[in-house]
Structure 1
Amino acid sequence: MNKKTEWFASWFDTSYYHILYKHRDDTEAQEFIRNIVALLTIKKENKLLDLACGKGRHSIFLNKLGYDVVGADLSKNSINIAKKFENERLRFLKHDMRNPLKNKFDVILNLFTSFGFFEDDNEDIKILKNIKNGLHTNGIAIIDFMNSKKVINNLVPEEVQKIDGITFKLTRYIENGFVIKKINFDADGENHTYFEKVKCLDLTKINLYLNTVDFKIKHTFGNYQLDPFNENTSDRLILVLE
């Protein structure tokens, strides 16, 4: 893989990405969706955007709950898979979240650590600005990010997973302020290496980003059960913005 290629643009669009993560349990994600829409009393007539939706698992579940949802993702492969689930109130489109949104929404969700991918802080700030500009007046945004401190303290340096006859060798490390996962495997007669890189953003740093675009934190949660955030023990850093 060309190191100059943005890692998410190449890795997310491969079939191997979907193989490695095929066993993800949707139960926890669905519990979170139920909890957050109940807490925020999101109305069924509201327009929702699932930004960086992947194959659309959150979008599809939100739609099953009765919501009008658009899912957007950079990966053409993921969007093509998600489009099989489209209906009158569920649509999917290919979109780079660094680009401005063409429509406005009542709620914009950015879930499962789909933020902090970029070397340049200004690109992360640009995404937050696009989210803010993509909201109707009194709209809200929900960002579900990793708790960087806990991730760093509990990093598993090496791991092997065998899935569908492929042996994935995973190496994790911290470099230049990023949590990096190196993914190496043999498949289709070739050796493949991909990377996942997510910036080690804590609440203080994210708040600096938010202040730049005049976003305010309404709620902060530490897990999908919406318990209070603790930087030492919480699994997630979940922000509700207005």
Structure 2
Amino acid sequence: MQKEKDNWYASWFNTPYYHILYKDRNHREAALFMNQLTEFLSLKPKDTILDLACGKGRHAKYLYKQGFDVTGIDLSEESIQHAKQYEKPGLHFEVHDMCLPYSKQFDAVFNLFTSFGYFENEEDNLRTIKSIKTELKPDGYGVIDFLNVELAIKNLVPNEKKKMGNILFHIEKYLEDGYIVKNIKFSDDGQDYHFTERVKALTLADFEGYFEEASIELKHTFGDYHLNKFDKNTSERLILIFS
């Protein structure tokens, strides 16, 4: 397993620029997805949810407001430090590596909005799946919300610019060694910055292989946040529900 200092996401996610670049993510869509998902899984008030790779906690906070007991974990110390200001009984945040089993079991474990496939070492993807299994109660459900790589690769935009506030981000995307790579360059206050995101181009078949090796049963596969059927040619997302 890689150490935090070796991982691109440990440095990039800990910068304020990550949150600046992605601050226009659709909150209404996220809320809709959480509502659809918790209803589909028949989760009840006070049921426990682990938000795996929770970032600054926006989804954990929303789930808490819907009546659930939520724990958010993330590798980013800065993100967890920010999230901890919202802690209260029933809403807890902690720095934790999702490759490693957490110390409690939950009614559901959510890994949302492509927070998987960052690892350089293939074994860490399987370790994460196995950790989720140990974090689930006997009748609990795991959820991985990943991008549909077939469509993402087909629609890949090689170069684009995105202006957020006073910062102009130059973004380059390409496929390399089985990873979708995003190079992000920008300048701020007279200083140049360069960060890289790398997400493994995992297909449904790849996940099925992980699940088989971890003795996990894939229950449902959806292709969007409305929980419509997955189609590798047209679906925006690959949402996996397993136990």
CA distance in structure 1 between the partners assigned to 2:186 and 2:228 by the alignment: 38
Deviation for aligned residue 1:45:
2.8
CA distance in structure 1 between the partners assigned to 2:108 and 2:41 by the alignment: 10
CA distance in structure 1 between the partners assigned to 2:202 and 2:141 by the alignment: 21
TM-score normalised by structure 1 residue count: 0.96
- What is the match of residue 157 of structure 1? 158
- What is the match of residue 67 of structure 2? 66
- What is the match of residue 115 of structure 2? 114
- What is the match of residue 171 of structure 2? 170
Say which SS state the counterpart of residue 99 (structure 1) adopts. coil
Deviation for aligned residue 1:10:
0.5
- What is the match of residue 193 of structure 1? 194
- Render the CA deviation track for 1:188-231: whole Å, top value 9, x for unaligned: 32211001110000000110011110111111100000000000
CA distance in structure 2 between the partners assigned to 1:5 and 1:160 by the alignment: 28
Structure 1 runs of 4+ with >6 Å offset: none
Is 1:210 the counterpart of 2:211? The answer is yes
TM alignment of 1:1-242, pairs within 5 A: 5-242=6-243
Deviation for aligned residue 1:239:
0.6
CA distance in structure 2 between the partners assigned to 1:126 and 1:176 by the alignment: 21
CA distance in structure 1 between the partners assigned to 2:189 and 2:23 by the alignment: 19
Letter in 1 for 2:36: N
TM-score normalised by structure 2 residue count: 0.96
- Render the CA deviation track for 1:51-106: whole Å, top value 9, x for unaligned: 00011111111001000000001111111221122211111111111122111111
CA distance in structure 2 between the partners assigned to 1:98 and 1:218 by the alignment: 22
Letter in 1 for 2:30: A
- Render the CA deviation track for 1:26-72: whole Å, top value 9, x for unaligned: 11111011001111111213211000001111111100100000000
What stretches of structure 1 of length at least 5 have no aligned partner? none
Say which SS state the counterpart of residue 229 (structure 1) adopts. coil
RMSD over aligned Cα atoms: 1.0
CA distance in structure 2 between the partners assigned to 1:163 and 1:190 by the alignment: 16
CA distance in structure 1 between the partners assigned to 2:101 and 2:89 by the alignment: 24
Say which SS state the counterpart of residue 77 (structure 1) adopts. helix
